[in-house]
Structure 1
Amino acid sequence: MVHKLLIRDLTLRDGQQSAFATRMSQQQIDRVLSFYKEVGFYAMEVWGGAVPDAAMRYLNEDPWERLEKIKAAVGTTTKLAALCRGRDLFGYNPYPDNVVKGLCRNAVESGINIMRIFDAMNDVDNMKPAIKYTDRYGGMADCAVCYAIDPHHSALERIEAALHGRPLHKPIFKNDYFLEKARQMENYSADIITLEDANGLITPGKTAELIRLFKKNLKAPVDFHTRCIAGYGLPSMLAAIVNGVDIVDTNIWYFAGGCSAPAIELIYVFCKKMGIELEIDMEAVARINAELFKIRKELRAYDSAKELPNPFNPLTDKLPTEIDRFFNDAIEAARHDKEDDLIIFCRAIEEYFNFPEPNELVQKSQIPVNMYNQIVALLKQQGHPELLEKAMSLIPQVRMDAGLPPLVTPVSQVIASQAVACALDELNGCPLYSKPVYPFISLIRGEFGKTPLPIDPEFRLKITGKREEQCYDASDYEMQENPMIDEVGILVAENEKEVLLLELFPMSARNFLTKRKKEKFKDNMFS
């Protein structure tokens, strides 16, 4: 039986968010949509994540109009996908069921077929409202298990822990942990299960183990998502394919590699060699890529890599014999679980095409690059950039004190902020957590959801003033104020979609909607 692999293209959402700070405009997107209609991707991720906020904040564009224009252009030729953070939706705070319900209904009605739903804690209860309402209104619930790694303890940390009688935690993030989360999601009517490696830290060996485990124990199709930043993206994706994954997430060439997912063109070469069917039109992909080359140059001010990969079209360009052999050798290494060889061959392929080198900092520290950048920025604001190493060294302790959450947005940002606060505590001769940041207090209180490890009640008392966990309570939620725009005599948000934008992004939505309505009022006056 021929193995068929489905492709979810990330170029217009995760690709541009990871590589170009989500600055791709509607006008630029419009230039490639007619070609997308021809490709035959299983799905295109085009919405959610940072896109709705960035569209309003930086581009003065309506996120709902973006989604509706894409849907009108591609029709039913490919499914449209969005990413949401469970109960947090596209924001950074939990929302009550009525907000989740309204967002999911309007998203599906505006064109979303697949809602990828994850939770930074891997707390399935936090995902249930989005799953329920996506399913109710006719969308597919793609439930993501967030990959996480236990903290790495240096020899010195282990010695200090032993001397002070403070045992280090036993590893939590084993294979059974991820499978159990996937089973919980499948039992709650997940249509797809995604192994989500948002930080690009999953190794090929671990990928092979988990994909085999998921395929053996789950009925739902399994998707694999990763990034190339630490050097594992391409070899891990090949390991997933060899071990029977159903769907993989890729970007088109000029938006691929580095901080982004692997290139579809490289996956195409691997699949062709293995006799795996993709059922996509690579000529249409090449036409999209030609336009992305121009768009990337237009976005050079936001380009995280700066240097472009060498041009490549797998339909027309013949690979040098040695490079072609690297593809074959990588496949054999993946089939025989030879992780080190697989990484070496895939890195040689990426080096030949001039994709970015692995980020050694991310690889060694095992923390997301955006978390590292946040720590650098916070210390700069405080006037103490010299505390970088100290703040980084405090992350494992802060994370363990907080119940060992995965380092995923928005929790990774909370841990980063608290690590900086603790480094400043030490600098000032104060005990750690003398000035806990407010989001950390909320995390310890229990408002972000269940942590993988229970939080010590005495620590919770120290941080929040109470020993008991206090979970998120929707009854205390207050809707955002919807003021009148005095100059034009209308409300900032006049319909449900605008109200939802105002709820999720109070500042950027208010500025965007007010500006747009004032401009429309002036246009009507002079027309």
Structure 2
Amino acid sequence: RIFDALNDIENMKSSIRFVKEAGGLADCAVCYTVDPKFSGGEKLKAFLSGKRLPSDIFNIRYFVEKAKALEALGADMITIKDMAGLIDPHRSASLIKALKSEVGVPIDLHTHCTPGYGVASILAAMVNGADIVDTAILSFSGGPAAPAYEIIRLFADKLGLDTGIDNAAVAKIDRTLREIRGELAAYDQYKRMPPEVDLSKDSLSSELNRLFDDALEYTVGGKLDKALDLCRKIEAAYNYPEPDEIVQKAQIPGGMYTNMMAQLKEAKLEQHLEEVLKAVPQVRLDAGVPPLVTPTSQIVGVQAVNYVVSKTKGEDGYANVSKNFAELVKGSYGKTPWPVDPDFRLKICGSREEIPYDTSNYKKQPNPGLPEAGGSLLALDEKEALLLELFPSVAEKFLRGRRVAEWKREHPEGTIATTAPTVEAEPETFSPTLLQNCEIPAFSSFAADLPADYQVNDGHDEEYWIYAVENAQ
């Protein structure tokens, strides 16, 4: 799956080409998002100052045109990647219908259940012609995850759609996942395990079956609000977490909200959460209204916290600007959906003009031999080389420690390491585009092995990501 945080097609071209050349299937994603909401006071202030607030940027045409552009580049399928779960059933139905009428490759909908739309929106997509929908196995579904396969499979069966999936195999996988989730109990935020379901032999109660039938009937008939109510009753029957109203109203991904809370707690400023949530639309606007997906969700979230903290000190909201926010405003990450105000860019970056990242300036990170580890290279394989490229400053220390530890295990007698040739270090550089087309593993996948007091304070905790990449399967 290939995506760009800004939906900047230029940033995706190389990845698509390389996947196609290698014989892979290019699943090209368009990140789903919504326009920022502004209060009446903010609208009046903008009007009086002669500034235009964005409206109707992320309409149906926006997503259709992005999908058509990706299809023209060779996309084998198009995924609408709704990382925050913000697509409601009405928008899901309209968008899928439009995509199916104008795009020739298969259409996939990926969404989450955090705000409570997940099941209903997936059902609306299925009814309106989606070729693929993303799900999670029941024990790890709902809440911030995708809708349950088991629930969606029941709807698929009622629609006469053949998934080709072995339900007995799914039930076996689910039993194993339940054991794993039990092992992660100390890190389980929700503590709500769904009931065990085996679709190869279990049947619905008459009451639950009626809920499924009615939800489907309402969806087919276009009565999507009623369908949403029934889908939430179905979710409750499977012990889903309640819809997160804070995330729903703030229109931000759940992980972004969690990280902002962690940042405020660290500064002992939790009482300012509401102010931070109100600052998000303004900070997002100032940055060019990027979709809130990795890494832009964390860049905007961290800067919104900085904005409020600076204000509490009587300073300008942008007195403390993160490097990543400055790079986003500068243009290093690519074209933003909404133009950044040149005066604001001058204030943050010292230049009124957009300055894209110049790939010709990129230099590969040095991979020296280590005298203290018998001359071993710092990075020994492709995975370690990738770590070194993505997180040079932290990875260098991490990999050096690993090589030295390996040397000591192999030479317990304390054999003196041989001298290795010195490699002149090249200037450390950072390429934002390296991260933009990567799927990053979820924190919960590795939480069991981390120290009990480990905290991910923002979206760019390099030591965590190194741990994550090293342990990815």
**TM-score, reference length from structure 1:** 0.75
Contact 2:290/2:336 (8 A) holds in 1: yes
Contact 2:54/2:338 (8 A) holds in 1: no
Structure 1 equivalent of residue 377 of structure 2: 491
Q: Work out the CA distance in 2 between the residues paired with 1:508 and 1:247.
A: 39
Deviation at 1:423, TM superposition (A): 1.1
Which segments of 5 or more consecutive residues in structure 1 lack a partner in the other structure? 1-115
Structure 1 equivalent of residue 121 of structure 2: 236
Cα distance per residue 1:372-424 (max 9 Å; x no partner): 12222222333322222212111111111211111111011111122122212
- Residue 279 of structure 1 aligns to a residue whose secondary structure is coil
Q: Work out the CA distance in 2 between the residues paired with 1:302 and 1:484.
A: 39
Determine whether 1:186 maps to 2:78. no
Structure 2 equivalent of residue 344 of structure 1: 229
- Partner letter of residue 506 of structure 1? P
Determine whether 1:120 maps to 2:5. yes
Determine whether 1:223 maps to 2:108. yes
Once the two structures are superposed, the pairs formed by residues 19-418 of structure 1 within 5 Å of their partners are 116-418=1-303
Structure 2 equivalent of residue 53 of structure 1: none
Determine whether 1:450 maps to 2:365. no
Q: Of 363, 381, 406, which residue of structure 2 is paired with 1:478?
A: 363
Q: Of 354, 365, 369, which residue of structure 2 is paired with 1:469?
A: 354
Cα distance per residue 1:19-54 (max 9 Å; x no partner): xxxxxxxxxxxxxxxxxxxxxxxxxxxxxxxxxxxx
Would the alpha carbon gap of residues 329 and 507 (structure 1) be closer, same or farther in structure 2, given more than 3 Å must change?
farther
Contact 2:143/2:243 (8 A) holds in 1: yes
Q: Work out the CA distance in 2 between the residues paired with 1:500 and 1:270.
A: 42
- Partner letter of residue 272 of structure 2? L
Structure 2 equivalent of residue 504 of structure 1: 390
- Partner letter of residue 205 of structure 2? P
Deviation at 1:165, TM superposition (A): 4.2
Q: Work out the CA distance in 2 between the residues paired with 1:288 and 1:434.
A: 51
How many residues are matched? 412
Q: Work out the CA distance in 1 between the residues paired with 2:241 and 2:55.
A: 35
- Residue 219 of structure 1 aligns to a residue whose secondary structure is coil
Q: Work out the CA distance in 2 between the residues paired with 1:334 and 1:474.
A: 48
- Which region of structure 1 is more displaced relative to structure 2, 301-310 or 220-229? 301-310
Deviation at 1:508, TM superposition (A): 6.2
Q: Work out the CA distance in 2 between the residues paired with 1:352 and 1:493.
A: 50
By relative contact order (CA 8 Å, sep 6+), the higher-ranking structure is 1
Q: Work out the CA distance in 2 between the residues paired with 1:304 and 1:310.
A: 18
- Partner letter of residue 472 of structure 1? Y
Q: Work out the CA distance in 2 between the residues paired with 1:504 and 1:415.
A: 20
Q: Work out the CA distance in 1 between the residues paired with 2:123 and 2:19.
A: 31
Would the alpha carbon gap of residues 139 and 324 (structure 1) be closer, same or farther in structure 2, given more than 3 Å must change?
same
Deviation at 1:190, TM superposition (A): 0.6
Q: Work out the CA distance in 2 between the residues paired with 1:198 and 1:444.
A: 22
Deviation at 1:219, TM superposition (A): 1.0
Q: Work out the CA distance in 1 between the residues paired with 2:381 and 2:311.
A: 50
- Partner letter of residue 338 of structure 2? L
Contact 2:13/2:73 (8 A) holds in 1: yes
Give the number of the structure whose residues are more often strand, by fraction: 1
Deviation at 1:465, TM superposition (A): 0.8
Q: Work out the CA distance in 2 between the residues paired with 1:525 and 1:465.
A: 53
Contact 2:16/2:26 (8 A) holds in 1: yes
- Residue 26 of structure 2 aligns to a residue whose secondary structure is strand
Contact 2:137/2:149 (8 A) holds in 1: yes
Q: Work out the CA distance in 2 between the residues paired with 1:508 and 1:267.
A: 42
Would the alpha carbon gap of residues 459 and 516 (structure 1) be closer, same or farther in structure 2, given more than 3 Å must change?
closer
- Residue 117 of structure 1 aligns to a residue whose secondary structure is coil
- Which region of structure 1 is more displaced relative to structure 2, 156-165 or 201-210? 156-165
Contact 2:127/2:220 (8 A) holds in 1: yes
Would the alpha carbon gap of residues 178 and 304 (structure 1) be closer, same or farther in structure 2, given more than 3 Å must change?
same
Q: Work out the CA distance in 2 between the residues paired with 1:377 and 1:225.
A: 27
Deviation at 1:161, TM superposition (A): 3.4
Deviation at 1:311, TM superposition (A): 1.6
Determine whether 1:426 maps to 2:311. yes
Would the alpha carbon gap of residues 509 and 394 (structure 1) be closer, same or farther in structure 2, given more than 3 Å must change?
same
Q: Work out the CA distance in 2 between the residues paired with 1:435 and 1:357.
A: 36
Q: Work out the CA distance in 1 between the residues paired with 2:186 and 2:38.
A: 38
Deviation at 1:313, TM superposition (A): 1.8
- Residue 343 of structure 1 aligns to a residue whose secondary structure is helix
Deviation at 1:170, TM superposition (A): 2.5
Q: CA RMSD in A?
A: 1.9
- Residue 277 of structure 1 aligns to a residue whose secondary structure is coil
- Residue 193 of structure 1 aligns to a residue whose secondary structure is strand
Contact 2:35/2:54 (8 A) holds in 1: no
Would the alpha carbon gap of residues 123 and 496 (structure 1) be closer, same or farther in structure 2, given more than 3 Å must change?
same
- Which region of structure 1 is more displaced relative to structure 2, 305-314 or 216-225? 305-314
Q: Work out the CA distance in 1 between the residues paired with 2:48 and 2:359.
A: 44
Deviation at 1:521, TM superposition (A): 3.8
Deviation at 1:515, TM superposition (A): 5.1
Which segments of 5 or more consecutive residues in structure 2 lack a partner in the other structure? 414-473
- Partner letter of residue 426 of structure 1? K
